[in-house]
Structure 1
Amino acid sequence: MLRKFLPLLLLAACASPEADKSANNPTSGPVIVIHGGAGSISRGSLSEADELAYQTSLTAAVDSGYMWLEQGVAAEEVVARVIEMMESDSLFNSGVGAVVTAEGIAELDASIMRGSDRNAGAVSGLRHVEHPIRLAKMVMDSSKHVMLSTKGAEEYAFSMGMDSVPNSMFITNKRAQQYHRAIQDKHGTVGVVVMDAEGNLAAGTSTGGMMMKEYGRVGDSPIIGAGTYADNAGCAVSCTGHGEYFIRNHVAGQLSLRVQNGEDLESAANDIIFEVLNRQEGAGGLIAIDHMGNVAMPFNTNGMFRGMRNSDTSFVAMYEE
């Protein structure tokens, strides 16, 4: 688990309205926005120790990603690296710390998309791959496909030199206890969107899915256009929440198309989350960046773990402000 306490945390343990507003000013430099899931994250629901743990992890992820962007690392590689960090952190529902299915096992999904050419890669139903986002990027970069699932995806991973890991490595004591009590944890999916030094966009999302899911259920996270999308002409988007609603409404792709057609990023994102999804009682949120570096982070739940950094603004936050 990430425990590196950074000075940035002191700037804003929770995002202030002023910080949220300044995040929407166009910038010519790199930008990174992350989320760690949306859900029942209200003040008092977390202990002070847990709050500090989340703030520290989010800050470390944002700072690391921004450092790589400043070094000139390409957008999609920064997305993969930051999500790998979060997949290794048991605080989140992705990789280590993933929720379990009705069978008591972890099944992992991920997707990534590059905005410069709209190439994408996605994987679902993984049980023995340590970093689903890295495999998704491998599908994007080294295969002729966009999405691979279950055993076939793992066979591809192993053929490309990735190690097989025991499923037990993903299941922490916290998730095992939730399984035995049949508690559903509705937050923890992780996502990253960036604009790199060249102005290129990329997005990625990784998740363990819904607690106690059955029948091979797949949510929006590995579905390009639903949970993840990136197009330099529109925006980069990563979603979190009740995946069925994001799939039905093509949320990530819809937002990018609306921006491409001239709508303001923040206004379009707010309309999708607070109007389109609310009418259907669909819970969740999203993070997005457009080609001008404008940022949107709407959510209709009690909270969403999130953070962002550009040349002017740095913060992490959890609760509704």
Structure 2
Amino acid sequence: MKKLIAAVALALLSQPALAEEAAPEQARWSLAIHGGAGTLDPKAMTPEKRAAYEADLQRALDAGSKILAEGGDAMDAIKAAIIIMEDSPLFNAGKGAVFTWDGTNELDASIMDGRDRSAGAVAGVKTVRNPILLADTVRTQSEHVMLMGAGAEAFAAEKGFEVTPPEYFATEARREALERLKAEKLSALDVDHKFGTVGAVALDTKGNMAAGTSTGGMTGKRWGRVGDAPMIGAGTYADNRACALSATGWGEYFIRVGVAHEICARLRTWWTVDPQTMESALGEALAKAGSDDANSFELKLPRAPEDLAQSIADSVMADVAALGGDGGVILVTPEGHAIFSFNTTGMYRGRATSAGLNEVAIFGGEERASSTPDH
């Protein structure tokens, strides 16, 4: 019987779109940000450290929210939020990037526009203060999606980016992490208790969505290792029909699962099928199979868009965990929901919406709503 139900459901999901969700309200906007997920210990979080992280998260959230509240574009909002986190030494992106095995800081970033699915990405750059801006320039001023290393830096120079000296990115805490990794023969996971990748996703009042991600990678990375952050479909994805998403975590697993695209694709697939049509078809299948429960059959599907998005995100993150990886995602939906999903003890995160939600959080289950900032 279960096989029959699965077969009918699969057949329905394979059909052309039968129903579309109503367009989002024009005044609705939504923003979510992250500053990395990982094994965070509440006991090791001093009040001073917590205040510093929350302050920078709030600054990033406010910068993006202001643009959206004033009717600005989702792309501009996510760039504004990410730049603040790239410029903060607290996160593993830009200024606070981790060191490679050779003692350098190599930066990755990607960005995507949900309107036309245009995308740009850079990997392994060393002289660009805000890699998210270079990724966007790749998107808008080249025929390519991803540039890497010296070529990406040559492109940056051609487009007028100032050369940032290597010492700008170096912080003592990140240098000590590399030294400890080498001295004690540890892995990056032993010294990086969190994945400090930063990201932002947004829905603007015109119904357009965007996503961006920026990172310094993993401490002690070698041989030009690149994680999921600059990979469209793994660490970043945006599609106005489904969602905008940014990921943070153990990149190799996010690449293998294709986390960002997987979540958005599942959302898009679900909403191409009218739940009533699916329920009717499955009920008929049970009746034809002679089930005694056919008349009282009730299909258990998540009805609310927010519940559906949360369920799908949690399912994909469970898949990552089953393979051995950990981390988290942020996403916004066309309906304006801002959602988190992570399989770690914490994720530096924040979200704000036109409905008045405005909050930042660090550990699991501690979201606390407050009024929207007065811009």
Query: TM-score, structure 1 length as denominator?
Result: 0.90
Write the deviation string for residues 101-129 of structure 1: whole angstroms up to 9, x where unpaired. 00011000000000000000000000011
Unaligned runs of 5+ in 1: 1-25
In structure 2, what is the equivalent of residue 142 of structure 1?
Answer: 141
Asked whether the equivalents of residues 241 and 285 of structure 1 are also in contact (C-alpha less than 8 Å), the reply is: yes
One-letter amino acid matched to 2:34 = H
Please provide the CA RMSD for this pair.
1.2
One-letter amino acid matched to 1:297 = F
Structure 2 distance, partners of 1:308, 1:235, is 15
Asked whether the equivalents of residues 114 and 202 of structure 1 are also in contact (C-alpha less than 8 Å), the reply is: yes
Asked whether the equivalents of residues 184 and 210 of structure 1 are also in contact (C-alpha less than 8 Å), the reply is: no
The alignment of Structure 1 onto Structure 2 pairs a total of residues equal to 295
**Among 300, 320, 325, the residue aligned to 1:277:** 320
**Among 290, 300, 304, the residue aligned to 2:347:** 304
In structure 1, what is the equivalent of residue 268 of structure 2?
Answer: 260
In structure 1, what is the equivalent of residue 330 of structure 2?
Answer: 287
Asked whether the equivalents of residues 111 and 123 of structure 1 are also in contact (C-alpha less than 8 Å), the reply is: yes
Asked whether the equivalents of residues 97 and 170 of structure 2 are also in contact (C-alpha less than 8 Å), the reply is: yes
| 1:245 match: secondary structure | helix
Asked whether the equivalents of residues 206 and 222 of structure 1 are also in contact (C-alpha less than 8 Å), the reply is: yes
Asked whether the equivalents of residues 184 and 212 of structure 1 are also in contact (C-alpha less than 8 Å), the reply is: no
Structure 2 distance, partners of 1:251, 1:259, is 12
Unaligned runs of 5+ in 2: 1-23, 182-189, 272-307, 366-375
Q: How far did 1:47 drift?
A: 1.1
Write the deviation string for residues 169-206 of structure 1: whole angstroms up to 9, x where unpaired. 10111111112112621321000000011110000000
Write the deviation string for residues 222-255 of structure 1: whole angstroms up to 9, x where unpaired. 0000000000011000000000000000100011
Write the deviation string for residues 20-59 of structure 1: whole angstroms up to 9, x where unpaired. xxxxxx8751111000000121211221100000111111
Please give the residue correspondences for 1:3-152 in structure 2 after superposition, counting only pairs within 5 Å: 29-152=28-151
In structure 2, what is the equivalent of residue 242 of structure 1?
Answer: 250
Asked whether the equivalents of residues 30 and 203 of structure 2 are also in contact (C-alpha less than 8 Å), the reply is: yes
Structure 2 distance, partners of 1:111, 1:154, is 15
One-letter amino acid matched to 1:195 = L
Between the aligned residues of both structures, percent identity stands at 44
**Among 227, 234, 249, the residue aligned to 1:219:** 227
Structure 1 distance, partners of 2:109, 2:155, is 15
Structure 1 distance, partners of 2:218, 2:126, is 15
Structure 2 distance, partners of 1:278, 1:213, is 22
Structure 1 distance, partners of 2:217, 2:191, is 11
Write the deviation string for residues 109-167 of structure 1: whole angstroms up to 9, x where unpaired. 00000000000000000001111000000001111110000000000000000011111
**Among 190, 200, 212, the residue aligned to 1:204:** 212
Q: Which of the pair has the greater relative contact order for Cα pairs under 8 Å at 6+ separation?
A: 1
Write the deviation string for residues 200-225 of structure 1: whole angstroms up to 9, x where unpaired. 00000000000100110000000000
Asked whether the equivalents of residues 265 and 295 of structure 1 are also in contact (C-alpha less than 8 Å), the reply is: no
Q: Which runs of 4+ in 1 moved over 2 A?
A: none
Pick the structure with more helix per residue: 2
In structure 2, what is the equivalent of residue 16 of structure 1?
Answer: none
1:178 correspondence with 2:140 = no
One-letter amino acid matched to 1:96 = K
In structure 1, what is the equivalent of residue 357 of structure 2?
Answer: 313
Structure number, greater radius of gyration = 2
| 1:288 match: secondary structure | strand
